[in-house]
């Protein structure tokens, strides 16, 4: 924090931010209100208030801001582009699902002061070390508890602080710590005294116990002590353990101690190591790009979004280009557009037959051009649900070609007829259109089969809206309605006509006219109707892709799991949420990954366990959006049935033993100052049905600050290559539903063994430092 403050002295932009600026906060063309913004002295908090609101004000942390966009780089600012020039406009983009803050300054110079100042603050935060981050966190708590802003804290303020920090401590014990820290004997704690109080409060007895188990003298870990710990507990590779021990001492031992000179590690250095990325449960090597990216595209799980344009529900939700930007920045590699004929000859994107707002297809394509390869250079698939007439399909094709240029894949890579997919490596920087195609890839490469003057073709209509889950149709209410042979009204589709057939009701399929120009944009991802696995095996081309609703996919899984896996070893498959999920909720993606389905499309805008699992799976391999499927799902000569994993070749079950030791600085879930959480930890295994399991620790009364469990949970994992492990912390409540505190999900294959910290995430998937769990992990062979 002192580094940040020193940086202010010579920085005119930050000085200007501290003085404060009046700017317009923009929400729409009609909502433009003046607000007074300023940077607080802590260099971490932006404070703002309305001119008319009296003492009422709002704040947000610089830590919550992901990036700053200059000019008209949001839909809101584009909508008022004719009113305010771009050099006065900027957007603060927040982490997670929080909305953007669009601002207009009174002058270009004022805008630049805030743009450059915010960028510097964000950069400083990103470059902070662990100890600096902790200092910043302590400073934030000090400010919150220092009610009278005199820069010191008396004991009543300390008692309030403890409640705010999730600690329900015995008053006598708290007073004893206070008196010990009050070195100046003034009855108040100032800067260094408060830090001392905090350190006494956060003393890690659990880590000290491990440290002393391996320390020869109880004071430090010699090089040999540390080597023994790394070899026996952390299961580091024996050959490089001495070199690793020396590197850890250099990296984490505080430089102002003599211990570093002795090639040894103190308790402070040991704790710094355990709290670092190297001490995390997620293996650092697997967080970087480590997988073979030269396999055919269909051999990978692909991070995929459904109804990407929606920011909320599917009935009245807001459609926004921001949905695409956010998904792409989370590593998503398959996004969806629902295209309809729009006014002025311009195709629009929205959830048809609903009250969701509309955006231009052209703007979606521009967002793709600008953001597709910001976080991953591997290919993006644009999945189209096309409801446009032929004329506006031509406009779609024109936008794709002119806006995307060379980024749009327009032909096979070598101009020859391929026999399998190219790899993500070969398709780097390319956008692939998934949609209907007139004829096949062979015809388009050999020249059109149809007469030269044929500008359109006829294809079957694979409209998601017409693909209502058959399971849903047989619910009692719908069955009664179907018997009346009337038109069924579904809020997300409008009217869909049904015909009676064999006492069951199905949507009528129609033929759709397709423009040749749009058809030609489809190369490797031709959407086709699925008949059966047998039909696909005999007749389908590798580039043909079928889409299933979640219930149809489950039906195939139940009836022919091994065939489903086999099908996905040859072709791409997409599974998407039921259209009846009008709240934009999600299905469990794990079921579909168990079949080898590559494109498991989820509503990225909806937080929950399903998106936690998606984030968990794709947090490996450099977060590039592609994860290589296990070899038994890639080889057509191998057989794997997710319902019966024990029958597969190479079956080797594993035992997972997790001792949940302690928690640190868990966030409050109740805004009342007097409320303190009663935390417990649940460990969930998500994988093949035989692996699905969860176990819980006891709950700890009134301690979210440093709860201690030492509870051991054991699991058997039958298909470790497919398993994900999710750690969830909840606030126990015997009278009502438990409140969510934090979670962390990761692939089983990425777990580091030994003593590890788990850095918890919020419901939105954003980090909530310094909240963590401390665990011991051991994985052993069962056979």
Catalytic residues: 306, 351
In the chain, what is the straight-line distance between the N-terminal and C-terminal CA atoms, in Å? 53
Token pair belonging to 599: 């494109």
Q: Are 314 and 353 in contact (CB under 8 A)?
A: no
Token pair belonging to 348: 């629009």
Burial of 255 (0-12, 13-18, 19+ CB in 10 A): exposed
> What is the per-residue DSSP string for 11-35?
-HHHHHHHH-EEEEEESSSS-EEEE
Angular region, 310: left φ>0, alpha ψ -120 to 50, beta rest? beta
Question: How far out from the chain centre does Cα 32 lie?
Answer: 32
Alpha-carbon span 374 to 370, nearest angstrom: 8
Q: Are 629 and 594 in contact (CB under 8 A)?
A: no
Residues β-bridged to residue 783: none
Q: Which of 198, 190, 200 is nearest to 154 (CA)?
A: 190
Q: Which residues contact 3 (CB under 8 A, 6 or more apart)?
A: 124, 132
Alpha-carbon span 261 to 263, nearest angstrom: 5
Residue 441, helix vs strand vs coil: helix
Residues, the chain, total?
A: 783
> What is the per-residue DSSP string for 517-569?
HHHHTEEEEEE-----HHHHHHH--TTEEEEEEHHHHHHHHHHHHHHHHHHHH
Angular region, 263: left φ>0, alpha ψ -120 to 50, beta rest? left
């Amino acid at each position: 924090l002192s580094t940040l403050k020193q940086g202010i002295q010579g920085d005119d932009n930050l000085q200007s931010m501290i003085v404060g600026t009046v700017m317009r906060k923009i929400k729409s063309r009609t909502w433009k209100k003046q607000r007074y913004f300023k940077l607080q002295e802590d260099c971490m908090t932006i404070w703002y208030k309305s001119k008319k609101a009296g003492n009422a004000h709002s704040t947000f942390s610089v830590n919550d801001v992901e990036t700053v966009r200059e000019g008209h780089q949001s839909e809101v600012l584009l909508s008022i582009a004719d009113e305010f020039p771009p050099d006065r406009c900027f957007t603060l983009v927040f982490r997670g699902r929080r909305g953007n803050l669009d601002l207009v300054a009174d002058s270009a110079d004022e805008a630049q002061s805030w743009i450059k100042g915010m960028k510097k603050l964000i950069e400083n935060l990103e470059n902070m070390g662990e100890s600096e981050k902790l200092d910043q966190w302590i400073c934030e708590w000090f400010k919150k508890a220092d009610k009278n802003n005199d820069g010191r804290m008396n004991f009543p303020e300390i008692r309030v602080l403890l409640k705010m920090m999730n600690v329900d401590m015995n008053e006598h014990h708290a007073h004893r710590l206070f008196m010990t820290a009050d070195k100046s004997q003034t009855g108040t704690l100032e800067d260094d005294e408060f830090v001392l109080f905090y350190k006494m409060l956060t003393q890690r007895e659990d880590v000290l116990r491990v440290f002393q188990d391996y320390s020869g003298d109880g004071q430090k870990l010699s090089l040999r002590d540390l080597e023994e710990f790394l070899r026996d507990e952390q299961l580091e590779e024996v050959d490089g353990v001495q070199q690793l021990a020396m590197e850890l001492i250099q990296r984490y031992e505080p430089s102002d101690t003599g211990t570093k000179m002795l090639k040894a590690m103190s308790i402070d250095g040991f704790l710094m190591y355990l709290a670092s990325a190297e001490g995390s449960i997620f293996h650092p090597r697997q967080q970087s790009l480590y997988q073979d990216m030269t396999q055919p595209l269909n051999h990978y799980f692909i991070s995929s979004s459904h109804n990407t344009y929606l920011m909320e529900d599917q009935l009245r939700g807001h459609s926004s280009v921001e949905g695409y930007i956010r998904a792409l920045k989370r590593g998503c590699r398959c996004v969806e557009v629902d295209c309809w004929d729009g006014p002025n000859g311009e195709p629009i994107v929205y959830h048809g037959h609903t009250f969701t707002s509309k955006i231009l297809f052209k703007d979606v394509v521009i967002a793709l051009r600008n953001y597709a390869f910001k976080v991953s250079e591997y290919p993006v698939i644009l999945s189209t649900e096309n409801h446009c007439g032929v004329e506006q399909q031509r406009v779609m094709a024109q936008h794709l070609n002119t806006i995307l240029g060379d980024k749009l894949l327009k032909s096979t890579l070598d101009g020859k007829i391929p026999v399998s997919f190219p790899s993500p490596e070969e398709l780097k920087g390319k956008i692939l259109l998934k949609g209907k195609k007139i004829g096949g890839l062979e015809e388009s490469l050999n020249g059109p089969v149809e007469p030269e003057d044929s500008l359109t073709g006829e294809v079957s209509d694979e409209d998601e809206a017409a693909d209502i889950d058959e399971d849903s149709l047989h619910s009692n209410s719908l069955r009664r309605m179907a018997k009346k042979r009337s038109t069924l009204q579904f809020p997300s589709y409008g009217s869909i006509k049904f015909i009676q057939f064999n006492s069951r009701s199905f949507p009528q399929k129609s033929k759709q006219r397709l423009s040749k120009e749009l058809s030609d944009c489809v190369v490797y991802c031709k959407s086709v109707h699925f008949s059966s696995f047998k039909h696909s095996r005999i007749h389908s081309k590798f580039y043909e892709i079928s889409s299933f609703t979640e219930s149809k996919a489950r039906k195939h899984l139940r009836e022919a799991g091994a065939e489903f896996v086999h099908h996905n070893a040859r072709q791409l498959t997409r599974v998407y949420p039921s259209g009846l999920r009008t709240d934009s909720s999600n299905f469990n993606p794990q079921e579909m990954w168990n079949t080898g389905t590559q494109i498991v499309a989820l509503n990225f805008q909806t937080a929950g366990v399903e998106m936690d699992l998606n984030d968990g799976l794709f947090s490996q391999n450099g977060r590039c959006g592609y994860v290589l499927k296990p070899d038994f799902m890639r080889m057509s000569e191998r057989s794997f049935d997710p319902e019966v994993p024990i029958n597969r070749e190479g079956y080797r079950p594993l035992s997972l033993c997790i001792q949940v030791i302690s928690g640190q600085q868990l966030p409050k879930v109740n805004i009342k100052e007097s409320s303190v959480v009663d935390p417990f930890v649940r460990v969930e295994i998500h994988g093949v049905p035989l692996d699905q399991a969860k176990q819980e620790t006891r709950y700890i009364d009134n301690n979210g600050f440093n709860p201690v469990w030492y509870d051991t949970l054991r699991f058997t994992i039958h298909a470790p290559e497919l398993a994900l492990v999710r750690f969830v912390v909840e606030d126990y409540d015997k009278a009502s539903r438990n409140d969510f505190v934090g979670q962390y999900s990761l692939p089983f294959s990425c777990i580091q063994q030994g003593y590890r910290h788990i850095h918890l995430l919020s419901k939105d998937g954003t980090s909530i430092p310094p909240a963590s769990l401390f665990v011991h992990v051991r994985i052993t062979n069962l056979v």
